[in-house]
Amino acid sequence: SKPFTVLGIETSCDDTGVAVVESTGKILGESIASQAGIHENFGGIVPGLAKEAHAANIQATIADALDKAGMDVRDVDAIAVTVGPGLEICLRVGCEAAKTLAIAHSKPFVGVHHLEAHILMSRLNSSLEFPFLSLLVSGGHCQLLRCDGIGSYEVIGGTLDDSLGEAYDKVARMLNLPVGGGGGPAVEALAKNGDPSVVKLPIPMQHRKDCDFSFAGLKNAFRMAVNKMKEIRGLEEGGDLAEQDKADLAASFQNVAIKHLEQRLKLAISNTKRDTPAIDKLVVVGGVAANKAIRESLSNICEANEWDFFVPEARLCTDNGVMAAWAGIEKINCNISDVPTTQEVFARYP
Ligand code: KG4
Ligand code: ZN
């Protein structure tokens, strides 16, 4: 069939992302307005501020993406938008903008699920076919899913408390690292120069042989390790550790987090051996999938088990407009669309 184009809008969290993508997988234009800096001093994302920033940036971001694609909105074939899960007041900004465009220009309209959009990024410009196993690791989620087709997903493991992205963000804060737009990249960069054997942290969930995750215990152990290190160095609790101490702590955290992921993945691989149809592919998606050390370790486990391994380009792992557009394309290819006038947003979206 003839290639078509979709304008995708993503505003579920703290980035306003818009992109125009062709059904062939070609990204024609993309634009992102980051809120790094806005939430820096608040210990987390402030929904009201995030909503205001989305509202202030959405029209310019749409215009920029179209401009980069060399297109007018009249030229795109459909509009797609993230409708959940996420911050409700933020989702609404993107959804209203998308509905307005779809109605004004009589374009087909598709509401997309944020997690499904993360997962489907693994099929953008790749040969990946269903079924496959997904490890979704983001700021909001940590899940293992069996994926059998568009809209057909079974959660086989989730987190009992925090997500891995949240743990990375907390670790960044405890080490006084820059957290604008997520602390993960700063922790990863620091961990490269650290020795993980200097600080001992416990691997979570050693007594549970299922596919669930937990990061709260690790986070607390990390907090205690930071305080102990400060005590050893004769620092006040608010004092700042030397770079090498921070690097060793970061390396230790990342090392244990990866061990936890590896153990859960090995269990999932052995559990799915009995499933039909059989699975022999893993995709790792979501913001944390941008992490090089995590990509490498999970890719090695797949290789050892003769599984294929897929991961989106690092810059497309974190939230962006391409994922909304591509998920829209995948749904349109399955003849799925929605009615813009009745579209709602869903803070929780199972
Ligand atoms: O998918 P995402 O952009 O937003 C959600 O849907 O939650 O994920 C954001 C999360 C943040 O917690 C951020 O710190 C983390 O992904 N992240 C990373 C890296 N890049 C982003 N974590 C570890 N290493 C990275 N390189
Ligand atoms: Zn996300």
In a domain, 59, yes or no: yes
Cα separations in angstroms, 204 against 163, 262, 288: 13, 12, 18
16 and 106: one domain? Answer: yes
Helix (H, G, I), strand (E, B) or coil at 143: strand
When divided into structural domains, the chain yields a total of: 2
Confidence at residue 87, expressed as pLDDT on a 0 to 100 scale? 96
Mutate which of 87, 121, 138 for ligand 1? The one with the most ligand atoms within 8 Å of its CB, which is: 138
In a domain, 76, yes or no: yes
137 and 209: one domain? Answer: yes
**CB of 179 sitting under 6 A from ligand 1:** no
CA distance 335 to 171: 44
**CB of 86 sitting under 6 A from ligand 1:** no
289 and 330: one domain? Answer: no
Helical pair 292-304 and 243-272, crossing angle rounded to 10 deg: 30
In a domain, 349, yes or no: no
Closest by CA to 171, choosing from 189, 158, 157, 159, is: 189
In a domain, 96, yes or no: yes
177: CATH: 3.30.420.40
State the ipTM, two decimals: 0.99
Confidence at residue 179, expressed as pLDDT on a 0 to 100 scale? 83
In a domain, 108, yes or no: yes
Confidence at residue 158, expressed as pLDDT on a 0 to 100 scale? 97
Tens digit of pLDDT at every position of the chain (350 positions): 799 999 999 999 999 999 999 999 999 999 999 998 888 778 788 999 999 999 999 999 999 999 999 999 999 999 999 999 999 999 999 999 999 999 999 999 999 999 999 999 999 999 999 999 999 999 999 999 999 999 999 999 999 999 999 999 999 999 999 887 789 999 999 999 999 999 999 999 999 889 999 999 999 999 999 999 999 999 988 899 999 999 999 999 999 999 999 999 999 999 988 888 899 999 999 999 999 999 999 999 999 999 999 999 999 999 999 999 999 999 999 999 999 999 999 999 88
74 and 210: one domain? Answer: no
9 and 146: one domain? Answer: no
CA distance 307 to 285: 16
Helix (H) or strand (E) run with residue 213 in it: none
Per residue in 103-158, pLDDT (tens digit) is 999 999 999 999 999 999 999 999 999 999 999 999 999 999 999 999 999 999 99
303 and 323: one domain? Answer: no
In a domain, 350, yes or no: no
CA distance 168 to 258: 12
In a domain, 322, yes or no: yes
Confidence at residue 306, expressed as pLDDT on a 0 to 100 scale? 96
Closest by CA to 255, choosing from 208, 190, 315, is: 190
290 and 214: one domain? Answer: yes
Structural domain range at position 108: 5-122+317-342
In a domain, 348, yes or no: no
45 and 143: one domain? Answer: no
Q: Where are the alpha helices (DSSP H) in 105-202?
A: 114-120, 164-174, 184-191
For residue 317, which atom of ligand 1 is closest to its CA? 1
CB count in 10 Å sphere of residue 122 = 23
192 and 149: one domain? Answer: yes
173 and 247: one domain? Answer: yes
Q: Which residues crowd ion ligand 2, with CB under 5 Å?
A: 138, 319
For residue 188, which atom of ligand 1 is closest to its CA? 24
Burial degree of 259 (CB within 10 A; 0-12, 13-18, 19+)? middle
Closest by CA to 9, choosing from 324, 343, 286, is: 324
156 and 71: one domain? Answer: no
137 and 265: one domain? Answer: yes
Helices and strands counted in the chain (H then E):
9, 10
